[in-house]
Amino acid sequence: MSLNQHYDLAIIGAGPAGMAAAVEASKNNLKVLVLDDQPAVGGQVYRQIDKNYHNSDELSYLGEDYWLGKKLVDNFWHSSAELLSESRVWQITRDKLIFFSQKGLAHQVQADFILISTGAMERPMPIPGWTLPGVMSVGGAQTLLKSNNSGVDGAVFAGSGPLFYLTIWQYLIAGLKIVAVVDTAPARLSLHHYLRAIPALLQLNLLLKGLRWKSYIRKNTKYFSQVRKVSISGQFAAESLSFIDRYGESKKLFASHIFLHQGVVPNVNLTMATGLKHYWCPRQLCWHPETNIYGESSLKGVFVAGDGSGIAGVGAAILSGKTAAKRIFQYSRRPPIFSIFLSKFKRYRHAAARPFLDNLFRPPKDWRVPFDDETIVCRCEALKKADISLAISLGVAGPNQLKSFCRAGMGRCQGRMCGLTIQQMIADHNNLLEKDIGYFRLRPPIRPLTVGELASMADENVPAK
Amino acid sequence: MSLQSNKILIIGGGIQGCATAYFLAKRGQNVTLIEKDRIGRHASGVNAGGVRRLGRDVLEIPLSLAAMDIWQNLYQEIGEYAKDFHPCFYLKVAVDEAGREIGLMRAEDLSRAGFTHEVWVEDDHIQARLPHLSTPTHGGLLVEGDGWATPWRIVQGFANVAKKHGAKIIEDCRVTSLTKFQDFWQIQTAKGLFEAESVVNCAGAWAAGIARLADDHIFPLEAYAPMLVVTDKRPKILPAVMGVVAHTLSLKQLETGQFVIGGGVRSKASPSINQSDVLLPKLSSSMKLASKLFSEIGNAQVVRCWSGIEGYMPDNLPIIGRGRQNGLFHGFGFSAHGFQLGPGVGEALADLVMGQQPRISLEAFRPDRFVN
Ligand SMILES: Cc1cc2nc3c(=O)[nH]c(=O)nc-3n(C[C@H](O)[C@H](O)[C@H](O)COP(=O)(O)OP(=O)(O)OC[C@H]3O[C@@H](n4cnc5c(N)ncnc54)[C@H](O)[C@@H]3O)c2cc1C
């Protein structure tokens, strides 16, 4: 591998946004490098699609939307973009040096432009017992299907959101048994909500698909809706899940596998650690990097595309990747006015259903902040809600100060598991808005990096400055 | 806004400011400490926590020893918080013959100057005390009783006892101007106007700016951001704090089993916007050395990297003493080794402010030593 090279464009993340950008940029003869921490391209949505394609008859349960990704992946392979897989990017500097490790060694490359397309992550659902063995995220459950071509029989699914229904549907079509589906979405009866459904009709296909999944699930599983107070118990591992159903009755289900989901949020660890500006999105209850219509961030030459810049789904991700690549190619020129309108319109069209869906699946506070004092919030440091409340009551004004008081967020997950919960708790205690509380100050390495890997750079040329 | 009158006003809520506030308050002085952010938010709360006399500039040793007297009886000063200081031993090993030469020379210099705390030991001694060491050494320098502390807790400790003795501590309050009227100072801040007979400048990397506001000396103080990393939890193998002769490495293992690795390597700091960078690859040689000493460390995962804003003087010695202006005192410029000195500096500054003779000479730290 001849690294230490210079690229026109380096793309972090080979999901739909990253691949689309790579294809578009290579078409325009840019020298492109794509880095991804997985062994195969595809990101979350198209995970392992190349391998699975040979088996597509047997794996038809993954659904037609999944197989659509094959075309994009093929285009990517036909492009001149270079791919470095199993490469974990752990730092990007303001002068656009990219540091990453691969197979035990650390390297650096430099690029004129950087596109960060590191996608989304699932919002943690900190309910009692969520840290017990046997409890997993729904995304993890779906990964089992895509990577191992096997799921788990006899699980309970608890949560809500598009990925929640899709995965359950895939499990059912794959012939796996499901003990029950516990839907945590509250009833949305306001007019205000249904007004949002009007623009969503632009993505009618998407809505109909969702309705189809849902009715299939209702028919084929034991389905509970509008539940409250979900908790998991078990001595050493998950044994059962309890909740209160919509009629106010307590229910208990036995299962050793429980899959949780409360939607996805942009994975902002890299964009934040790189120093890009972010803003709080109250509709999606998470941070978004600030970008213009082309995806350009507050740091010149650094772009963000795909779900990492705000949750909008795969169609919008592909479009945003392409748009960023085009803009990078014509960077020296001013974009013609109509192209701005066109981009805006296309973007709107590809995410028209978002406001409606965001509202429909907006997780109520009970699923974002534990309703029970004994529930773990910070997994790395094993801190319960009560521990964190106590520290906050000592006069903590923000997440960073909280670190000194109780070490919350200082572990290896770097706040991915507890950040949003802690932010909400501090906001509640001080009667402030979440946006005014801010988030953990994130610092590299934002990906696992060993001392040995870092030591391997000692013999390379380390940038002066 | 009403004018708040004080006898002594301290600027900066780091270890120097808080320790000074404590010693003054304990002696019954009316003292107020003003911090622009939060107590311990900067260098004093985020440093490596190295409490070492080892390797100090000979000119700094008396102050370091005086400080150590306080560290050794810390419980009497700050109570419960003292349990966050962990005395052990500090060892700086030579990894080659060149290092051995330098180390032996250092040991000789020290004994000639009459210091006995830091001594040379041979490899067999080192191997016996550090059975997990992965490499033979060429001997090393040793100080018994040096150790490490959780810095933020210690600063909190001093701030708390200062308050208990009646000191006022005001956070989120930036000093924006300092004006001398006959024999008192008027201090403009984000939270109103203050008046004081004496002002103590413990503003860390920002202290030259404070001196400028007061029309005092121009100080050649520069700001940088020393960096540290902490790893995941590992089996306990290192009961000492370690360094390597002629290299910038400091290495220790916390009670949790996490390693803290750093020492001297620094990145860019922008004090005006409270920002300090980290550039991990700059630490690669330190990482290489650490994993050479203990191969197990090579497998440890870097969990976090951080840095803090520190003020450096050209001669790497602090500024401690009276300013050009009457009633102005300075204590800053600790050049990345001021945490251990903190309690000693606090005591000495309290003496100075109260017109008493400090128990050690501060000659080497004279504020006017860069005035030509
Ligand atoms: C990463 C790192 C590792 C280190 N490791 C060690 C070690 O192992 N051992 C050791 O002995 N030393 C170490 N040091 C050095 C040590 O931390 C510092 O020398 C020491 O903490 C300095 O204390 P201070 O009180 O002068 O500064 P600070 O802690 O910086 O305090 C100064 C305070 O003044 C405040 N201030 C500034 N301007 C104003 C204003 N206008 N109005 C109000 N307030 C103001 C600031 O906000 C700040 O809180 C390390 C430093 C760093 C950064």
Question: Over the stretch A284-295, which tens digit does the pLDDT of each residue have?
Answer: 999 999 999 999
User: Model confidence at A462, in pLDDT bands (50, 70, 90)?
Assistant: very low
> What are the structural domains of chain A?
6-121+265-333 (3.50.50.60), 124-262 (3.50.50.60), 369-437 (1.10.10)
Residue A450 with chain B: CB contacts under 8 Å: 298-302
Cβ distance of A451 and B232 shorter than 8 Å = no
Residue A101 with chain B: CB contacts under 8 Å: none
B258 and chain A in contact, CB less than 8 A: no
Lowest mean pLDDT among A50-64, A81-95, A221-235, B287-301: A50-64
Q: Is B14 in the pocket of ligand 1 (CB under 6 A)?
A: yes
A33 with A111: CB under 8 angstroms?
A: yes
Write out pLDDT tens, residues B197-254. 999 999 999 999 999 999 999 999 999 999 999 999 999 999 999 999 999 899 999 9
pLDDT of residue A332: 60
Cβ distance of A458 and B45 shorter than 8 Å = no
Residue B302 with chain A: CB contacts under 8 Å: 445, 449-451, 454
Report which secondary-structure segment, H or E, holds B114: none
State chain B's mean pLDDT as an integer: 96
Position A328 pLDDT exceeds 70: yes
Looking at chain B, how many residues does it have?
372
CATH code at position B9: 3.50.50.60
Q: What is the DSSP letter of B109?
A: H
The tally of domains found in chain B comes to 1
Mean pLDDT of the B347-370 span? 97
Nearest CB partner across the interface for B301, out of A93, A448, A465:
A448
pLDDT of residue A433: 94
Residue B259 with chain A: CB contacts under 8 Å: 451
Which of B268, B339, B365 has the most ligand 1 atoms within 8 A of CB, as the residue to mutate? B339
Write out pLDDT tens, residues B155-209. 999 999 999 999 999 999 999 999 999 889 999 999 999 999 999 999 999 999 9
Examine residue B68 and state whether it is found in any structural domain, yes or no: no
Examine residue B134 and state whether it is found in any structural domain, yes or no: no
Write out pLDDT tens, residues B101-130. 999 999 999 999 999 999 999 999 999 999
Residue B336 has, within 13 A of its CA and on its CB side, a CA count of 24
Write out pLDDT tens, residues A292-305. 999 999 999 999 99
Cβ distance of A452 and B152 shorter than 8 Å = no
Report which secondary-structure segment, H or E, holds B100: helix B97-112
DSSP B141-175: EEEEEEEEE-HHHHHHHHHHHHHHTT-EEE-S--E
Cβ distance of B301 and A450 shorter than 8 Å = yes
- pTM score, two decimals? 0.91
Distances (CA, A) of A249 to A224, A280, B343: 11, 37, 62
Q: From the DSSP assignment, how many helices (H) and strands (E) are in chain A?
A: 17, 21
Write out pLDDT tens, residues A401-453. 999 899 999 888 889 999 999 999 999 999 999 999 999 999 999 998 999 99
Percent of chain B with pLDDT over 90: 96
pLDDT of residue A349: 86
In whole angstroms, what separates CA A125 from the centre of its chain?
Answer: 14
Mean pLDDT of the B345-368 span? 97
Q: Which residue of A has its CA nearest to B153?
A: A404
Nearest-atom number in ligand 1 for the CA of B174 is: 42
B176 with B189: CB under 8 angstroms?
A: yes
* Residue range of the domain that includes B340: 4-48+153-219+315-365
Distance from CA of A103 to the nearest CA of B (A): 13
Interface of B with A in 41-100 (CB under 8 A): 45
Lowest mean pLDDT among A85-89, A90-94, B2-6: B2-6
pLDDT of residue A463: 45
User: Model confidence at A3, in pLDDT bands (50, 70, 90)?
Assistant: low
- Alpha helices by DSSP H, listed for A196-252, are 197-200, 204-220
Distance CA A340, CA B197 (A): 63
Distance B267 CA to ligand 1 centre (A): 15
Position A152 pLDDT exceeds 60: yes
Distance A465 CA to ligand 1 centre (A): 22
Distance A389 CA to ligand 1 centre (A): 29
pLDDT of residue A348: 87
Write out pLDDT tens, residues A159-196. 999 999 999 999 999 999 999 999 999 887 677 778 88
In whole angstroms, what separates CA B233 from the centre of its chain?
Answer: 26
User: Model confidence at A465, in pLDDT bands (50, 70, 90)?
Assistant: very low
Q: Structure tokens of A46?
A: 């198209």
Position A98 pLDDT exceeds 70: yes
Examine residue B94 and state whether it is found in any structural domain, yes or no: no
Examine residue B300 and state whether it is found in any structural domain, yes or no: no
Mean pLDDT of the B49-64 span? 97
Ligand 1: which residue has its CA nearest to atom 48?
B12
Cβ distance of A451 and B298 shorter than 8 Å = yes
pLDDT of residue A189: 67
Nearest CB partner across the interface for B280, out of A445, A448, A465:
A445
Q: Structure tokens of A10?
A: 């380096």
Cβ distance of B297 and A444 shorter than 8 Å = no
Count the neighbouring beta carbons within 10 Å of the beta carbon of residue B355. 7
Distance A91 CA to ligand 1 centre (A): 26
User: Model confidence at B348, in pLDDT bands (50, 70, 90)?
Assistant: very high
pLDDT of residue A464: 37
Residue A108 with chain B: CB contacts under 8 Å: 281
Examine residue B250 and state whether it is found in any structural domain, yes or no: no
Examine residue B326 and state whether it is found in any structural domain, yes or no: yes
Percent of chain A with pLDDT over 90: 80
Nearest CB partner across the interface for A462, out of B281, B290, B303:
B281
pLDDT of residue A110: 94
Write out pLDDT tens, residues A339-393. 778 888 888 888 899 999 998 899 999 999 999 999 999 999 999 999 999 999 9
* Dihedral pair phi/psi, residue A457, rounded to 5°: -80, -10
State chain A's mean pLDDT as an integer: 92
Examine residue B105 and state whether it is found in any structural domain, yes or no: no
Distances (CA, A) of A22 to A37, A104, A178, A327, B19: 16, 26, 40, 13, 57
Examine residue B167 and state whether it is found in any structural domain, yes or no: yes
Closest CA to B281 of A458, A261, A93, A176: A458
